[in-house]
Amino acid sequence: MKIRVSVLASGSSGNSIYISSNKFSLLIDAGLSGKEISHRLKKIGVCAEELDAVLVTHEHSDHIKGVGVLSRRYDLPIYANELTWQEAASHLGKIQEKNCQVFKGDFSLGDLGISPFSTSHDAVSPVGYIISCGKTNIGVATDTGYISSEMEERLRGLDLLVIEANHDLDMLMNGGYPWHLKKRINGDKGHLSNDAAAALLPRLINSNFPRILLAHLSKDNNRPELAYITVKNSLENNGIYIDRDLKLDMCCRDKPTGLYELG
């Protein structure tokens, strides 16, 4: 059973991830305009009309900007937990009642298994997701200030993981952001730093040659090459080598990744 993944956008200017199987296609978040999401889908050879649903991680605008438009334009059901729905509803515009789907735990969409898990962010009830298709498992863990032991257990041994590497701590602390914003970003309800992602990843890698995508990089407080080398050094210090034990790629804010096929 094949599953395909592309991160259409990742960063404070908008987030969206495309995932499809043989029977179902969905987005995790739609934080760009509906027009831009359709444009980026076309870049990976996908028509927006093929979508079957949108999953929402949390209510911040860089994750839900295009949700209402897509639901109305393509008659798409939107899945979020109850508290997120309550917080996001007024920002989404009119959505048909049948398309307002509330989940309370694990559920299935077509041949995809959906397993939400709690993250730590300054939103009302933020989640990440494990998406399963047959024996293939994909994880999305961004917009979280830290990784709990429960989250770590859920993220271990996946075939593809989208993990946050938001900021370099020195760049953040020495940069021009006001102190309250620096404190928020680096707090338990903020975003994972390069160092935090780098320390975590060696504990997650099994022998299944996974693909790791570093995501939600800050435009002002990070650089792709800095995130990459920080993670690379940590992996190698733990005897794990890129291209031998895993693939390591970067997500962008202004263009989609390639369309990865797994399974």
Mean pLDDT of the chain: 97
Per-residue confidence at 172, pLDDT binned at 50, 70, 90? very high
Task: Report the alpha-carbon distance of residue 170 to residue 67 in Å, rounded.
Answer: 35
Token code pair at residue 72: 């109305």
Per-residue confidence at 184, pLDDT binned at 50, 70, 90? very high
Rounded to 5°, the CA angle 208-214-216 comes to 145
Spatial CB neighbours of 122, under 8 Å, sequence gap ≥ 6: 184, 189, 190
For 100-150, the pLDDT digits (tens) are: 999 999 999 999 999 999 999 999 999 999 999 999 999 999 999 999 999
For 13-68, the pLDDT digits (tens) are: 999 999 999 999 999 999 999 999 999 999 999 999 999 999 999 999 999 999 99
Task: Report the alpha-carbon distance of residue 210 to residue 138 in Å, rounded.
Answer: 10
Q: Minimal CA–CA distance to 112: which of 17, 200, 25?
A: 25
For 59-93, the pLDDT digits (tens) are: 999 999 999 999 999 999 999 999 999 999 999 99
Beta carbons of 36 and 69 less than 8 angstroms apart: no
pTM above 0.85, yes or no: yes
Rounded to 5°, the CA angle 226-203-149 comes to 110
Phi/psi at 92 (5° precision): -95, -15
Cα separation values, 126 from 8, 83, 202, 207, Å? 20, 9, 25, 30
Structural domains in the chain, sorted by start: 3-262 (3.60.15.10)
Question: What's the confidence (pLDDT) of residue 1?
Answer: 78
Q: What pairs with residue 107 in β-bridges? A: 114
Strand intervals (E) in 38-182: 53-55, 78-80, 100-102, 107-109, 112-118, 127-133, 136-141, 160-164
Cα separation values, 121 from 58, 61, 127, 151, 262, Å? 9, 14, 9, 13, 30
pLDDT at 211 exceeding the cut of 90: yes
